């Protein structure tokens, strides 16, 4: 099969490595890819939301499968575009635009969860029309107050505040366009106090297979302090996810979600990412994503023993019923090396050295570019160093040792991934 992966991060590098290992993969392309993905396939200079060019490339080069990494092209309707006559033979991993609202609209996701009785925080949907009801709802809640821009806001649309007056002010600011059109609608949520983790399923719209669970570390600072990032590290499996919790997640969250997808007749062949929180001993949904996580993919994929292309084919031909994936019993951990200043302003194009000295880890490129034979930084998150070992502590130890061997000006990483477990 000829396969195109869309994206350019560590997630897509991890997919490219795994897909290239499949005996069913003939030619692999990545658009736009990065210097890491270029080790496993051919990078094509097309941007992920340039849907017309992606389609044309797939037709010209006889693709059989399209694997969509990030959410933006899904929310913008790439899957719908591929359902047209000339491309409908190309299998797409990723839901259509209607189903992608589970990630693209917080209000859509909340009303879906309410309809299918999926445990989640109590909420109210607010626009300028019912802002007074928003203030009144805030009055009924205890601090802290959770305000979410309805639409995609580059990971910045969730604001958590301790002070009631500030929360009301923030609600007004969001509705007045603080996050552009994304916050013309706001979801106010009850605050859930617990520990977060993530579960992933691949669905064919009717049935699903589960992937290994993971926990990511979103804050820039050690001890989970400072600003939110795309993710500074991750581990899989998650020690506190025991059989009892796993069964509750399946029975109360995953199965009803897939039932809901089926009942709503969603065109959903792809990943469902359940962002969960354990409150006491009960799991609740914080958010859905319609794609795999990054850096979660960099610890989840290395633990999957199956041929991923076969699994994708089963999903595309709606044959996931009764299927189950095999996971390695070992632990995987990843540590993200980031540019100094991230998630605020940072400088790009710093030369990266030392990658060849890394031993016993996989280095996934996240934000890198190649120039005249050198690898340079090109993003906030630069490289994810993944290790697999008997337990996550040992995997972290190996990744930390290798993090010291890679050099670029301004390099920063967290040394405490897994500290809370």
> Under the rule (CB under 6 A), what is the footprint of ligand AMP?
121, 146, 148, 158, 189, 191-192, 196, 275, 286-287
Q: Which is nearer to ligand GLY, 22 or 334 (CB)?
A: 334
Residue 419, binding choice from ligand AMP, ligand GLY, none, Cβ under 5 to 8 Å by partner class: none
Of the candidates 388, 395, 394, 396, which has an alpha carbon nearest to the alpha carbon of residue 413? 396
161 binds, among ligand GLY, ligand AMP, none (CB under 5 to 8 A by kind): none
Q: What sections of 36-144 are H helices per DSSP?
A: 51-60, 72-75, 78-82, 97-104, 106-115, 131-140
97-104 and 106-115 helices, crossing angle to 10°: 100
Which 8-state DSSP code applies to residue 51? Answer: H
Q: Give the residue among 140, 112, 91 at the shortest CA–CA distance from 256.
A: 112
What phi and psi, each to the nearest 5 degrees, are found at residue 298?
-70, -15
Cβ(313)–Cβ(91) below 8 Å: yes
Where in 365-384 is the site for ligand GLY (CB under 6 A)?
none
Q: Tell me how far apart the alpha carbons of residues 51 and 101 are, in angstroms, rounded to a whole number.
A: 18
Question: Rounded CA gap, 28 and 292, in Å?
Answer: 19
> At closest approach, how far in Å is the CB of 137 from ligand GLY?
27
Q: Based on CB atoms, which residue is closest to ligand GLY, 9 or 134?
A: 9
For residue 295, whether the previous peptide bond is cis, meaning omega lies within 30 degrees of 0, is yes
**Shortest spacing between CB 383 and ligand AMP, in angstroms:** 23
- Shortest distance in whole angstroms from residue 48 CB to ligand GLY: 15
* Cα–Cα distance for residue pair 4/92, rounded to 1 Å: 10
8 Å CB contact between 29 and 1: no
Residue closer to ligand AMP (CB basis): 189 or 213: 189
Continuous H helices in 306-391: 308-316
CA distance 51 to 60: 14
**Residue 220 corresponds to which tokens in the numbers above?**
């820039």
Q: Which is nearer to ligand GLY, 72 or 138 (CB)?
A: 72
146 binds, among ligand AMP, ligand GLY, none (CB under 5 to 8 A by kind): ligand AMP
Smallest separation (angstroms) from ligand AMP to the CB of 150: 11
End-to-end alpha-carbon separation of the chain, Å?
Answer: 42
- For residues 395 and 331, is the Cβ–Cβ distance under 8 A? yes
Q: What is the DSSP letter of 46?
A: -
Contact letters for ligand GLY, residues 228-257 (x by CB under 6 A): --xx--------------------------
Q: Mask 211-230, x = binds ligand GLY (CB under 6 A)?
A: -----x-------------x
Sheet holding 270-279, edge to edge: 208-210, 195-203, 270-279, 282-289
Distance of CA 19 to the CA centre of its chain: 18
157 binds ligand GLY (CB under 6 A): no
Q: In terms of CB distance, is 230 or 302 closer to ligand GLY?
A: 230
Q: Which residues pair with 228 in a beta bridge?
A: 219
Q: Which does 286 bind (CB under 5 to 8 A by kind): ligand AMP, ligand GLY, none?
A: ligand AMP
- CB under 5 to 8 A by kind: which of ligand GLY, ligand AMP, none does 192 bind? ligand AMP
| Distance in Å, CB of 197 to ligand AMP, minimum | 11
Give the nearest distance from C-beta 277 to ligand GLY in angstroms. Answer: 14
> Would you count residue 296 as binding ligand GLY (CB under 6 A)?
yes
Stretch of residues binding ligand GLY (CB under 6 A), selected from 27-35, 57-65, 126-134, 293-301: 293-301
Q: How far is the CB of 401 from ligand AMP (least distance, A)?
A: 29
Q: Which does 216 bind (CB under 5 to 8 A by kind): ligand AMP, ligand GLY, none?
A: ligand GLY
Q: Smallest gap, in angstroms, from Cβ of residue 230 to ligand GLY?
A: 6
Cα atoms in the 13 Å half-sphere on the side-chain side of 80: 11
The two structure tokens encoding residue 7: 């994206």
> Minimum distance from CB of 350 to ligand GLY (Å)?
24
By a kind-dependent CB cut-off of 5 to 8 A, residue 189 interacts, out of ligand GLY, ligand AMP, none, with ligand AMP
Give the one residue of 94, 95, 237, 293 binding ligand GLY; rule: CB under 6 A.
293
Which of 128, 417, 109 is CA-nearest to residue 287? Answer: 109
Residue 341 has which token pair? 């200043």
103 lies in the site for ligand GLY, by CB under 6 A: no
Site for ligand GLY contains 294 (CB under 6 A): yes
By CB under 6 A, is residue 289 in contact with ligand GLY?
Answer: yes
User: Which residues contact ligand GLY (rule: CB under 6 A)?
Assistant: 216, 230-231, 289, 293-294, 296
């Amino acid at each position: 099969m000829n396969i195109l992966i869309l994206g350019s991060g560590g997630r897509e590098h991890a997919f490219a490595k795994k897909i290239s290992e499949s005996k069913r993969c003939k030619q692999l392309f990545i658009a736009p890819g990065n210097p890491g993905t270029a080790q496993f396939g051919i990078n094509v200079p097309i941007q992920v939301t340039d849907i017309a060019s992606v389609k044309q490339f797939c037709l010209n080069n006889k693709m059989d499968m399209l694997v969509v990494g990030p959410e933006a092209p899904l929310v913008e309707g790439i899957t719908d575009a591929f359902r047209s006559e000339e491309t409908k033979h190309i299998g797409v991993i990723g839901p259509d635009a209607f189903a992608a609202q589970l990630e693209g609209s917080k209000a859509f996701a909340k009303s879906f969860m309410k309809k299918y009785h999926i445990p989640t925080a109590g909420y109210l949907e607010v626009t300028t029309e019912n802002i007074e009801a928003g203030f009144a709802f805030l009055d009924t809640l205890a601090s802290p107050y959770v305000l979410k821009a309805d639409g995609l806001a580059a990971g910045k649309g969730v604001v958590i505040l301790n002070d009631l007056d500030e929360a009301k002010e923030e609600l007004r600011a969001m509705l007045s366009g603080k996050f552009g059109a994304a916050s013309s609608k706001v979801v106010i949520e009850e605050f859930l106090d617990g520990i977060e983790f993530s579960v992933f399923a691949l669905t064919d719209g009717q049935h699903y297979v589960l992937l290994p669970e993971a926990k990511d570390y979103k804050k820039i600072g050690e001890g989970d302090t400072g600003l939110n990032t795309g993710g500074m590290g991750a581990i899989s499996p998650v020690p506190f996810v025991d059989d009892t919790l796993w069964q509750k997640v399946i029975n109360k969250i995953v199965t009803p979600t897939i039932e809901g997808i089926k009942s709503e007749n969603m065109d959903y062949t792809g990943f469902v990412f359940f962002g969960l929180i354990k409150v006491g001993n009960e799991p609740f949904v914080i958010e859905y994503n319609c794609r795999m996580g990054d850096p979660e993919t960099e610890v989840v994929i290395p633990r999957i023993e199956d041929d991923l292309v076969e699994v994708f084919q089963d999903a595309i031909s709606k044959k996931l019923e009764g299927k189950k994936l095999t996971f390695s019993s070992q632990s995987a951990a990843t540590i993200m090396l980031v540019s100094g200043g991230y998630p605020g302003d940072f400088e790009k194009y710093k030369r990266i050295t030392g990658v060849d000295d890394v031993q016993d880890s996989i280095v996934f490129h996240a934000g890198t570019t190649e120039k005249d034979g050198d690898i340079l930084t090109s993003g906030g998150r630069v490289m994810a160093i993944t290790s697999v070992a008997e337990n996550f502590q040992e995997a972290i130890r190996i990744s930390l040792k290798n993090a010291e061997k890679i050099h670029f000006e301004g390099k920063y990483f967290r040394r405490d991934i897994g500290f809370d477990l």
